Amino acid sequence: MTEMVFGATPVRAGDPIVPRWWRTVDRWSLACVLGLFAIGLLLGLAASVPLAEKNGLPQFYYVTRQAFFGGVAVVVMIVISAFSPRNVRRLGVLGFAGAMLAILALPFIGTDFGKGAVRWLSFGFASVQPSEFLKPCFIALCAWFMAAGQEVGGPPGRVLSAGVAMVVVLLLALQPDFGQASLVLFSWCVMYFVAGAPLTLLLGVVSVAGLGGLFAYETSDHFARRIDGFLSAEVDPRTQLGFATNAIQEGGFFGVGVGEGQVKWSLPDAHTDFIIAVAAEEYGLIMVLAIILLYGTVVFRSLMRLRNERDPFTRIAGTGLACAFGVQALINMGVAVRLLPAKGMTLPFVSYGGSSVIASGIAVGMLLALTRSRAQGKIGDVLGRGRG
- Over residues 50-73, mean pLDDT: 88
pLDDT band at 179 (very low <50, low <70, confident <90, very high): confident
The sheet with strand 120-122 has its strands ordered as: 110-111, 120-122, 127-128
The amino acid occupying position 282 is E
Q: C-alpha distances in angstroms, 167 versus 99, 118, 301, 313, 365?
A: 13, 17, 32, 22, 26
pLDDT in tens, 316-370: 999 999 999 999 999 999 888 888 877 778 899 999 888 999 999 999 999 999 9
Task: Tell me the range of 25-29, 128-132, 277-281, 378-382 where mean pLDDT is highest.
Answer: 25-29
- Over residues 102-113, mean pLDDT: 88
Whether residue 388 is predicted with pLDDT greater than 80 in this model: the reply is no
For the chain, percent of residues with pLDDT exceeding 70? 87
Angle ∠(291,293,295) on CA atoms, nearest 5: 70
pLDDT the model gives residue 12: 54
- Mean pLDDT, the chain, as a whole number? 84
Contact 236, 242 (CB under 8 A): yes
- Over residues 39-53, mean pLDDT: 85
Whether residue 213 is predicted with pLDDT greater than 80 in this model: the reply is no
State yes or no: cis peptide before 176, omega within 30 of 0.
Answer: yes
More confidently predicted of 225 and 277: 277
Question: Taking the C-alpha atoms of 309, 310, 316 and 319 in order, what is their torsion angle to the nearest 10 degrees?
Answer: 10
Q: Residue 351: name the closest of 54, 120, 69, 17 by CA.
A: 69
Whether residue 299 is predicted with pLDDT greater than 50 in this model: the reply is yes
The amino acid occupying position 207 is S
pLDDT the model gives residue 94: 97
Single pTM value for the model: 0.88
Contact 13, 378 (CB under 8 A): no
**Phi then psi dihedrals of residue 386, to 5 deg:** -65, -40
pLDDT band at 234 (very low <50, low <70, confident <90, very high): low
Whether residue 181 is predicted with pLDDT greater than 70 in this model: the reply is yes
pLDDT the model gives residue 6: 40
pLDDT the model gives residue 5: 40
Task: Tell me the range of 122-131, 164-173, 342-351 where mean pLDDT is highest.
Answer: 164-173
Contact 203, 340 (CB under 8 A): no
Whether residue 381 is predicted with pLDDT greater than 60 in this model: the reply is no
| C-alpha 303 chain-centroid distance | 15
pLDDT the model gives residue 16: 79
pLDDT band at 302 (very low <50, low <70, confident <90, very high): very high
pLDDT the model gives residue 167: 94
For the chain, percent of residues with pLDDT exceeding 90? 46
Whether residue 387 is predicted with pLDDT greater than 70 in this model: the reply is no
Task: Tell me the range of 89-98, 148-157, 204-213 where mean pLDDT is highest.
Answer: 89-98
More confidently predicted of 295 and 109: 295
Neighbours of 167 (CB within 10 A): 11
- Over residues 87-95, mean pLDDT: 97
**Phi then psi dihedrals of residue 267, to 5 deg:** -90, 120
Q: Residue 305: name the closest of 290, 322, 324, 326 by CA.
A: 322
pLDDT the model gives residue 369: 97
Whether residue 7 is predicted with pLDDT greater than 80 in this model: the reply is no
The amino acid occupying position 128 is V
